[in-house]
Structure 1
């Protein structure tokens, strides 16, 4: 019978080792216990007792290893990240204190909670620019979110900042977007006395609306980045400041790509300065803008973009507003979408009892207008259209 060379080698080595110590070859069970735990000088006669004891020891070892994984990750962050970086162990905490995870850092935990949320899944059926496109390659709010995450992580990694914090904030930044994109947001903002902002709604979702009104209980740093990713606000952390650049880099480039695919714009329409300075292709333009953020941030010690490139990017953005976002062709469908949102809002405010039961119970906590906004903002495009048809479009008798 052929014996395993590993087993033979181990046996010969053990015999030689014991002879050198002046002893005889010990039974393997006793030898292993003495070798691994020589300080205890324990002799185990009962093999069953030994196996039970080893199992308990292995369980304690695994438990100790898991307990240290998060600490190892936090120690690694402190060693390899920039002094500018936001360390997970230095987080300002959560709205509600909770035990720390044994495996994941606070920011990794936030990222996972966002990915598993219902609001994140609904992004796949929310408009980016083109309402209900027939092609499979047009962006949705979900694909936009993923592209923002990729750009933000690239910048964060190049600057040795906390990539986990950047990713969590990027994945959660648009959770509060309405159906039909900014058209739906504009309608709700005009109709409600307190106004409506998708940034604030994103924060409201992670703080209150998800998980049956318990919220996701995210860290302060992720919440701050989500709230300040657009407009005049500025996030406190450099990782949050990256998000604002990443969002803009993503949407002006992929919206142009979709406009070219739809035939709303042509290559000849793109300004010469954009082609000459940023690049003639989609990937080159994104690469130029990312490099501009990295290089200027390294130079100044702050999250900034090279002034010349930023000027061209701002001109590029203005071009997109004039020729796409306010273009007559997409605007026609946008007008119909606004009517859907407006009629749904007015209907539910006038007749709150027609709201789903899960929303009715919260009218005492919040105003009816805010509850209706929560309901409509959470809808996907297709659900809003379907609900509109059920309420306002007569059905034929068969």
Structure 2
């Protein structure tokens, strides 16, 4: 940590990972919102990037099935991947870095979307915030998940004997709060729901 220079940007590998994450989040969140019917197709027409990928996919009907949705999301990912590659090549050609440090000291990322795609992505993200992330159903699901995790944590803290044996073995050398937190953190969404039922459903096998 002492040798870490806060003035340096991430390595080119880190910039690639960051661009890929951002691209994937937008595409998959849009896909999830459509699948859960949190997002309405009529509202999406105001999003320029959505109209563009629909044209690329050749989709123009009023109803969307699973095949059409997958095709459009694939077009969205493909369009963005192509854009970030083209723009990154342009930036690297202009910079002509001779070392990894040249990339990190540059005044802007070398792995990035074009200015146009950044604008389109910003519009899409604003749409997702307004129509999905703050949707009342999403808020309810988040609150429900929060309650599940809190109740699992409380139950295991009150009686750590409910923990699986490998986690119980850690209790001799590690604080119980850390052990319980690690156990819960390792769960998938489905696993957390199953654990909740095991702890609180009298008809569920422990």
**Unmatched 5+ stretches in structure 2:** 1-7, 55-71, 93-109
Are the structure 2 counterparts of residues 393 and 323 from structure 1 closer, same or farther at C-alpha, using a change threshold of 3 Å? same
Q: What are the equivalent positions in structure 2 for 1:128-143 lying under 5 Å apart?
A: none
Instruction: Show CA shifts across 1:308-327 (max 9, x none).
Output: 21122123123212211221
Matched, 1:342 2:117: no
Match of 2:84 in 1: 293
> Shift of residue 295 of structure 1?
1.7
Instruction: Show CA shifts across 1:253-302 (max 9, x none).
Output: 132223223322122211333235x5323333222211221122112122
Match of 1:253 in 2: 27
Instruction: Show CA shifts across 1:343-379 (max 9, x none).
Output: 1112222332322220122234443222212111212
> Shift of residue 337 of structure 1?
2.0
TM-score, normalised with respect to structure 2: 0.67
Match of 1:306 in 2: 114
Q: What are the equivalent positions in structure 2 for 1:232-381 lying under 5 Å apart?
A: 236-270=10-44, 271-276=46-51, 279-280=53-54, 281-301=72-92, 302-381=110-189
Structure number with the higher helix fraction is: 2
Are the structure 2 counterparts of residues 389 and 283 from structure 1 closer, same or farther at C-alpha, using a change threshold of 3 Å? closer
TM-score, normalised with respect to structure 1: 0.37
Are the structure 2 counterparts of residues 356 and 290 from structure 1 closer, same or farther at C-alpha, using a change threshold of 3 Å? same
The separation in 1 between residues aligned to 2:15 and 2:172, in whole angstroms, is 37
**Unmatched 5+ stretches in structure 1:** 1-233
**Structure 1 vs Structure 2 CA RMSD:** 2.5
SS of 2:170 mapped into structure 1: coil
Which is higher, the Rg of structure 1 or of structure 2? 1
Are the structure 2 counterparts of residues 376 and 235 from structure 1 closer, same or farther at C-alpha, using a change threshold of 3 Å? farther
The separation in 2 between residues aligned to 1:357 and 1:257, in whole angstroms, is 39
Q: Work out the number of aligned pairs and report it.
A: 162
Runs of 4+ in 1 over 6 A off after TM superposition: none
User: 2:152–2:196: 8 Å Cα contact kept in structure 1?
Assistant: yes
The separation in 2 between residues aligned to 1:373 and 1:338, in whole angstroms, is 14
